[in-house]
Structure 1
Amino acid sequence: MRDAQLTLDLALTLRHDGDGGVADDLTDPAGLTAWVRDHGLLADGYTADDAALTAVRELRAAVRALFARCVPGGPSRADAGRLLPVEEAVTRLNRAAASVPTIPVLRWPDPAVEHRPAAGEDALTAVLARAAMTFLAGPDRDRLRACHAPRCVRYFLKDHPRQEWCKPSCGNRARVARHHDRHRKQTTS
């Protein structure tokens, strides 16, 4: 589940801003540094630079494009115009995953082998790309949904059979939009 949550969290760094636009949590290296630290990725002293920001944003675009092709009903209308072609998204993901070799590491006292990327400037994108690949090829992918509330660009993992939106405020916005559509149709008839 860690790969699913990490990949979803990366995609969710783009979100509805509450004013009809899209907010981006990764607008500068400081935002990426904070996001990496919040997710416990890499070493504590990690500080992102412009190159890392660009690489992660390009990877995020690839992940979101592949998410859009996985969800029933396709992407939200607010997100559909900014998606990469599938071939380019897959190429970006594969290139990022292959950019850093992995090193097997033994954990103790409960013996287990983890495969961690070797240190390097591409380690972050390699970790994120591999998590995305594991998620997209795994069983949690079947629970992935796009929120179809007006102006929402978020994805979510469906936890309940009746869940339709990423959060309650999107459900409210969708119901209000439907009400206004019905009212507008009644007044024009």
Structure 2
Amino acid sequence: MELASTIRHDGDGGVLDDLATVEGAARWIRRQSGLLSPLAPAGKHDVGELVVDEELRDTVIGVRRAVRALFARVVSPAPPSPADAHRLMPAEEALTLLNAAAAREPVAPQLLWPAEGLPAAGLLSAEGDPRVRLVAALARDAVDFLSGPQRERLRACHAPRCVRYFIRSHGRQEWCKPSCGNRARVARHYGRTRDAATGEGPAPR
């Protein structure tokens, strides 16, 4: 969800892309502290030992395109997010890209069980390149999400100016957040008022 949400509305009718530049991609990757450990700045566009450059930015954007294409498949037959509805990657291509990205890192499951805590599962990586680990981790998270129970609650928000996907928290939720709901209700009221004023309302039965 974090990766898909790097495409977002600016609140004024436009669309922002957090990965539009190398600098923006580096800032976003720094915030994903759970993907690589440690994941901390080590230079202008470094994240720990990971150097964020144009090649890595393009690769992450490719994974995002695949994720958003598959999100569109999940919400169908409802419309996808309007941000990229006109240029979605074909679903089969998205599947191939996502699975290939996840397979780039050889990992083995590990049982982690501290003396004063509960057991948990972890992954032991045989990959030395943190760039590969980052991309593979993003793809694995997407695979987990799309094959898990939260997939059934995925929706695209169609409030005016919104381009987000969101996880529905209750059965009647239509919008990603209350402010989007407010805009949608205002837009509906304006539309009904305009139709009434121009006589363009629904035809009588």
The answer to whether TM tops 0.5 is yes
Distance 1:108 1:16, change over 3 A: same
The equivalent position to 2:123 in structure 1, one of 110, 115, 118, is 115
- 1:167-182 paired onto structure 2 within 5 Å: 167-182=177-192
C-alpha separation in 2, matches of 1:175 and 1:51: 43
- Of residues 8-17 and 158-167 in structure 1, the stretch that sits farther from structure 2 once superposed is 158-167
C-alpha separation in 1, matches of 2:51 and 2:22: 8
1:58 lines up with 2:62 in the alignment: yes
Number of residue-to-residue matches in the alignment: 182
**Cross-structure match for 1:100:** 105
Q: Give 1:165 deviation, angstroms.
A: 0.6
The one-letter code matched in structure 1 to 2:184 is A
The one-letter code matched in structure 1 to 2:87 is R
Structure 2 stretches lacking a partner, 5+ long: 40-47, 200-205
C-alpha separation in 1, matches of 2:54 and 2:83: 27
- 1:147-186 paired onto structure 2 within 5 Å: 147-186=157-196
More helix by share: 1
Q: Give 1:78 deviation, angstroms.
A: 4.3
Distance 1:76 1:27, change over 3 A: closer
TM-score (norm 2): 0.81
- 1:12-58 Cα shifts (integer Å, max 9, x gaps): 01001112111011122222222222121223213311111000011
The equivalent position to 1:69 in structure 2, one of 73, 77, 83, is 73
What RMSD in Å do the two structures reach over aligned CA positions? 1.8
Kindly indicate whether the alpha-carbon contact (under 8 Å) linking 1:78 and 1:150 is maintained by their aligned counterparts in 2.
no
1:80 lines up with 2:85 in the alignment: yes
Q: Which has the higher contact order (CA 8 A, sep 6+)?
A: 1
SS for the counterpart of 1:162 is coil
**Cross-structure match for 1:89:** 94
Q: Give 1:103 deviation, angstroms.
A: 3.8
TM-score (norm 1): 0.88
Structure 1 stretches lacking a partner, 5+ long: 1-7
C-alpha separation in 2, matches of 1:107 and 1:47: 29
C-alpha separation in 2, matches of 1:106 and 1:37: 27
C-alpha separation in 1, matches of 2:181 and 2:24: 28
C-alpha separation in 2, matches of 1:28 and 1:112: 37
1:23 lines up with 2:16 in the alignment: yes
Distance 1:47 1:157, change over 3 A: same
